[in-house]
Structure 1
Amino acid sequence: MDHTSPTYMLANLTHLHSEQLLQGLNLLRQHHELCDIILRVGDVKIHAHKVVLASVSPYFKAMFTGNLSEKENSEVEFQCIDETALQAIVEYAYTGTVFISQDTVESLLPAANLLQIKLVLKECCAFLESQLDPGNCIGISRFAETYGCRDLYLAATKYICQNFEAVCQTEEFFELTHADLDEIVSNDCLNVATEETVFYALESWIKYDVQERQKYLARLLNSVRLPLLSVK
């Protein structure tokens, strides 16, 4: 034997081992083998393993290791999570992949937020940011604010300001509250060719429900740089 050769080897099989482990656990889940928890949404039952769920979700970890009654239960009912979203979250826990689309993101993001699954939440926000257009940016901004997605909220707000001339023609614009509208038109980053654009946008918003909104006219006009308006 050549005594200059190493007498041992540490084989780094981390990637293959991780993949094999996940595949094995997922097969066990799919065949309902060694599962110790059932997540129920309505009539739908989702079998899983507590240790897998707890490893990806601080919410589940607290549920299964804390002093909550669910710690000893073999079945937990969810009433505030969409069934399809919860199934997608469980799939993610076992596969590391999650399907996000315009049809699923509005239920998936709140579920990921509640269950504190940051990677899925981040991907949902990135997807919504990629979908921004004049007709949905206000709605996405509100959605982001509701669930505390600050980066998405800032991106949506920036989009609104940069594309204000198109945004103010959309249905979402006319559904803004006076406070939200005031915040937008007073933003220093508002991108408009002339101040008339802002003035006519405010006028259109008020006319949309003149009885209710005319009382906000004076306050909103404070955000218009009146000296820059053309005299007509």
Structure 2
Amino acid sequence: MADTKVETISRLAQWKIENFSPCSFKRSDPFKVGIWNWQLSIEKNRQLYVRLFPEPSRLSKEQPPLARFVLRVFNTGANRKQYISPIHERPLRTYEDFVWSIDSLFHGRLIIDVEFLDLKIFPLDGGEACSVWPSDQMMQSSSAQNTLQCLSRMLDEAIHSDLTINTADGTLRAHKAILSASAPVFESMFHHNLKEKESSVIYIEDMSRESCMALLSYLYGTIKQEDFWKHRLTLLGAANKYGIAHLKEACEESLLEDINSGNVLERLQEAWLYQLNKLKKGCLMYLFDFGKIYDVRDEVDNFFRHADRELMLEMFQEVLTVWKPV
């Protein structure tokens, strides 16, 4: 692999430098995160200097990014050392806008991580910067907005509801037609002569009333971003159980967006349980291709005691792939 290539996954970019000698200078190839192409450079002259900057372009000139990010520099030898920058937030326009100096004698094989916590763009006509990543303030047409308001009232006020849902800690009212149109398992319940069709009662006792309300809010199209994030693991289980493919995909994409050392093993277990191949691949890349297995070594023993044997085999095969001779 060339010394200038930067790999990216989710909001993390990683530059592996195989041989960095004293009094050296290297600049990476461009890599894309958000809507901008970025570059990193590293220079050693008494101290180590790391720069992050957008690749010169019309976009970066007219609408420079307001970046919130953290940098890490570490070696991969037996005496592993890691330097972590403070969290920075600043507009970045040119090569000179940001430099991080490290009092270190690093040489040999280095790895530089940059994790973008947020990226904002300034409107061309002025005003406050807004995030380039999805938020709950998505534009919708007036007719769609009105429809969502109607559906929200139907759910919240139980307008002409014809279904009772018993959860682990309470009951909810809903509509057979909407649930049937949203999930094939619900459609089957109410279409065939099952007890749910006659009683108009279903039992979802593996969900709390709050998480079940989040599920209904998603099916009615009125869920809020913070509720989706709060309940997305429970929603993933419900999507798998009731055959709601679009919800399962939305949960997988969301879980893939914010992989970090604190959740990667849990995410890997969920990916295996629900057969989420993109999420599983992302977790394995994060652990092995990006070398973050070292950050979770205290948790790995417990993970292996409970992990499925086939999952452990896949992890071992990933290790062999990453560590095979070049």
**What TM-score does the superposition give when structure 2 sets the normalisation length?**
0.48
Q: Amino acid of the residue matched to residue 31 of structure 1? A: E
1:186 matched to 2:313 = no
Decide which structure has greater strand share: 2
| Partner SS for 1:95 | coil
> What residue is the counterpart of 2:228 in the other structure?
100
User: Are 2:192 and 1:61 equivalent residues in the alignment?
Assistant: no
Once the 2 structures are TM-superposed, how far is the Cα of residue 37 of structure 1 from its aligned partner?
Answer: 0.2
Q: Does 1:115 align with 2:247?
A: no
- Matches for 1:196-215 after TM superposition, within 5 Å: none
User: Match of 1:90, as an amino acid?
Assistant: L
Supply the distance in 2 between the matched residues of 1:117 and 1:130 (Cα, whole angstroms). 21
- Structure 2 residue aligned with 1:218: none
- Distance in 2 (CA, whole Å) between partners of 1:58 and 1:76 is 15
Q: Which residue of 2 aligns with 1:29?
A: 155
Where 1:190 maps in the other structure, the secondary structure is helix
Map 1:169-180 to 2 at 5 A. Answer: 169-170=295-296, 171-177=298-304, 179=309, 180=311
Aligned to 2:165: 39
Cα deviations across residues 105-151 of structure 1 (Å, max 9, x unaligned)?
22221112212222222121111111212332222111111112222
Matching residue's letter, 1:142: Q
Segment of structure 1 superposing worse, 36-45 or 21-30: 21-30
8 Å contact kept, 2:214–2:231: no
**Higher helix proportion:** 1
- Pair 1:163 & 2:290 matched: yes
Whether the aligned pair in 1 keeps the contact of 2:178 and 2:219 (CA below 8 Å) is: yes
How many residue pairs get matched?
A: 178
Counterpart for residue 200 of structure 1: none
C-alpha displacement of 1:182: 5.3
Residues in 2 aligned to 1:24 and 1:112: alpha-carbon distance in whole angstroms: 24
For the pair shown, the structure with the greater C-alpha radius of gyration is 1
Matched residues, percent identical? 21
Q: Post-superposition shift, 1:96?
A: 4.9
CA distance 1:84–1:137, shift in 2 (3 Å): same
Distance 1:32 1:181, change over 3 A: closer
Instruction: Give matches, 1:134-145, under 5 Å.
Output: 134-145=261-272
2:228 partner amino acid? I
Q: CA RMSD in A?
A: 2.7
Q: What stretches of structure 1 of length at least 5 have no aligned partner?
A: 1-14, 196-224, 226-232
1:160-213, CA deviations, whole angstroms, 9 ceiling, x for partnerless residues? 22133x32342332224385555434324326xxx9xxxxxxxxxxxxxxxxxx
Q: Detail structure 1 runs of 4+ shifted over 4 Å in the superposition.
A: 15-19, 178-182
Structure 1 pair 134/21, CA: closer, same or farther in 2 (3 Å)?
closer
Structure 2 unaligned spans of 5+:
1-140
Counterparts of 2:169 and 2:207, CA distance in 1: 13
Q: Is the 8 A contact 1:40 1:46 kept in 2?
A: yes
Determine the C-alpha separation between the residues in 1 that align with 2:283 and 2:198.
Answer: 43
SS in 2 for 1:81: coil
Cα distance, 1:105–1:93 mapped onto 2, change above 3 Å:
closer
Aligned with 1:132 (options 244, 251, 259): 259
